[in-house]
Structure 1
């Protein structure tokens, strides 16, 4: 059975922006079955209502690689309470409100033990400073609860309106 990778976009984004298409192509060339779903309801609908649809729409197993950017990284925390993964990459991720915006993708609390038990490897990739507050401090908070590897760069939000980030070689290299 081939390996699967699922790339979850960030809040207000879609599968055709930033580095998502580039990474999907790179992984497909390496033999991954790649999904880059479009979820306009991400961080709009409350996570308790949103999560069941995501769980039902995909197949997850211990060989799945999960990649989430920003709101998509926050989504990974909720997903990983319920499903297994080989690797989880949280790019510009966060587990508490990073700014003054409502964050319906966040849960009130997380079962950190369950999340930790569902992925073999965690990677938290954040910047020293992030325009939305999804910074190295947020990465550190998740790292302290889940272990894994924290990578701190100085690359803003790793792609956003006004920040071109069409390729992400670091992420391509880390995905095993």
Structure 2
């Protein structure tokens, strides 16, 4: 069975931004969709959060992972441990994008393992991201991992002050 797991960003939850919209679109296409809530995302260290995330979900070579902001950074840690069909990192980053603490980041990544486990890989970033999760962050990951980088001018792709209730691009990227 095809499975999709959508990970919210820092301070987010499954009911905000485009997450419910994308989940509904994928469910219509016979995906088993999960949009879990991890309030500790980017609050507690990744070394504490990651084992719980790995235990809570099933990952296989038919799984699609979508992560937004801190959730995209979580995908990097996950991909060191699981093999999936596709990973889409929206407003993702692998180094501190601003002056905030970023407990979701690891000190280092096994880029070769991530590349081998990620399947089809997309980085969707914005030149106008107010938090620094911009095209430069996407480019740094793209240069290490390959895949496809998509650059837009869409802010943070949803935030407390940026309604972004639909994301048709993501629906088109997922087969």
Alignment TM class, shorter chain as reference: over 0.9
3-state DSSP of counterpart to 1:66: strand
CA RMSD of aligned residues (A): 0.4
Structure 2: which 5+ residue stretches go unaligned? none
Number of corresponding residues: 175
Q: What does residue 70 of structure 1 align with?
A: 69
Q: What does residue 151 of structure 1 align with?
A: 150
Tell me how far apart the structure 2 counterparts of residues 46 and 120 of structure 1 sit (CA, whole Å).
26
Structure 1: which 5+ residue stretches go unaligned? none
Tell me how far apart the structure 1 counterparts of residues 128 and 105 of structure 2 sit (CA, whole Å).
21
TM-score computed with the length of structure 1 as normaliser:
0.99
Tell me how far apart the structure 2 counterparts of residues 163 and 155 of structure 1 sit (CA, whole Å).
9
Pairwise CA distance, 1:119: 1.6
Large movers: runs of 4+ above 4 Å: none
Alignment of 1:117-132 (within 5 A): 117-132=116-131
Tell me how far apart the structure 2 counterparts of residues 19 and 161 of structure 1 sit (CA, whole Å).
12
Deviations 1:46-89 (A, max 9, x none): 00011000000000001100000000000000000000110000
Tell me how far apart the structure 2 counterparts of residues 49 and 170 of structure 1 sit (CA, whole Å).
33
TM-score computed with the length of structure 2 as normaliser:
0.99
Pairwise CA distance, 1:120: 1.4
